[in-house]
Amino acid sequence: MIMNKRGVLACMAMMAAPWASAEVVQTPTLAADEHETEVEVWVDERHTQARNWLSRAAHGMDGWFGTPNPDDPARASLRVMMDTTWNRYDGTTIKPRIRGRLKLPALEERFSVMIGDEDLDYDRPGDGGYTDERLNTANDNNRVYDRERARDSNASLALRWSKFRETTGLDVDVGVRTNDLFVRVKGEKKWQLTDDLKSRFEQVYRYGVSSEHMALTTLEFAKTQTDTQMLVNRSRILYTNEDNDETIEWNNSLHRRHDWQGKHGAHELNYGVYVGGNISGDAPKLNSYGPYISYRQPVWRDWLFLQGDAGYYNNKHEDHSHHVTLFGRVEMVF
């Protein structure tokens, strides 16, 4: 399969379709500023209504656990995404994703309610090929959209306890994902080693009744080069053990990060090299490697984002030679 210009445009259209209003799409393009202003006002009103609904829902839920404090009101945030991936081995995959948080002050000791795809907690633009969306995208039966997979990925509900976050960077989640009851502990520690060098260590342990053991260790070093440039090296080790099937995977990404302010907010560009493999046996195995580039920016509004990644990876385990991998995301933040 060759991704030509027409194919790229079709892919972009699929990504944008879930958020497009029929009224806006069917309206003829006009040069008059009045029409553009009407569209902007309509979009802003819909976004404000959604944010107000989330705030009311959080306030109402906060009232279940006590008397809401007007000086410390409940707050809600929500990310809604549509991810699209393509490579010549797996074809095109479309995956909707959500992640939300309700902060409820009436619940003592800093409890929050977390909803949606918990895997997004590990997702960073500069990670390169780490996430499955950029390495292996195939759904069952080679379907472009897998409803069951999307439902199961987003069907997570957890209660998060963040009492020790300020002192230890520790969060504890207790929740359910589809038919899997789980507890997850996530800790983070940061150090400023020199004026221009800092490091970050993150440890996640998760145990599920069905999924059993998962541990993810991340070690990152970042060296500031200019006010807008940074050199980052991020290493990860992922351990899983389900039904005595133990695997240990490792990966490393070395990339340069550029940040700058645009019209609607921060723009981020990352480019570098990714390597990863399996170390379950006697010696490390290099399974995938290659260069990648990732770009993310807000468009039109400070709550609407576009992200695009391109990589050139192989996969020895799947007998896939080096090939172009494309990833795109449309994201709205409420």
Q: Does the pLDDT at position 57 exceed 70? A: yes
pLDDT at 11: 40
- For residue 72, the model assigns a pLDDT of 76
Classify 113 as helix, strand or coil: strand
pLDDT at 139 > cutoff 80: no
Q: How many CB atoms lie within 10 A of CB 227?
A: 8
**Of 16-20, 228-232, 244-248, the least confident:** 16-20
Of 17-21, 166-170, 276-280, the poorest mean pLDDT is in 17-21
Query: Are 322 and 313 within 8 A, CB to CB?
Result: yes
Q: Please write the tens of the pLDDT for every residue from 200-243.
A: 999 999 999 999 999 999 999 999 999 999 999 999 999 999 98
Contact residues for 11 (Cβ-Cβ < 8 A; gap 6+): 3, 84, 86, 92, 326, 328
For the ranges 164-168, 257-261, 314-318, the lowest mean pLDDT is seen at 164-168
Extract the tokens encoding 254: 């070395």
Mean pLDDT of the chain: 83
Work out the percent of the chain whose per-residue pLDDT is above 70: 83
pLDDT in tens, 260-317: 999 999 999 999 999 999 988 777 789 999 999 999 999 999 999 999 999 999 999 8
SS (H, E, C) 62-93: HCCCCCCECCECCEEEEEEEEEEEEECCCEEE
User: What pLDDT is stored for residue 134 in this prediction?
Assistant: 63
Is a pLDDT exceeding 50 seen at residue 186? yes
Distance CA 57, CA 52 (A): 9
Mean pLDDT value of segment 98-113: 80
Task: With CA atoms as reference, report the closest residue to 129 among 234, 23, 258, 57.
Answer: 234
Residue 326, pLDDT > 80, answer yes
Per-residue pLDDT band at 90 (split at 50, 70, 90): confident
pTM for this prediction: 0.81
Residue 112 — very low, low, confident or very high, per pLDDT cuts 50/70/90? Answer: confident
Confidence check: pLDDT of 133 > 80? no
The pLDDT of residue 17 is 34
Structure tokens belonging to residue 55: 């705030």
Q: Which residues pair with 251 in a beta bridge?
A: 236, 276
Sequence-ordered strand ranges (E) for 88-192:
91-103, 111-116, 156-161, 170-177, 180-192
pLDDT band at 249 (very low <50, low <70, confident <90, very high): very high
Among 8-17, 49-58, 271-280, 287-296, the minimum mean pLDDT is found in 8-17
- Residue 33 confidence (pLDDT): 52
Q: How many CB atoms lie within 10 A of CB 266?
A: 13
For residues 159-163, give the mean pLDDT.
84
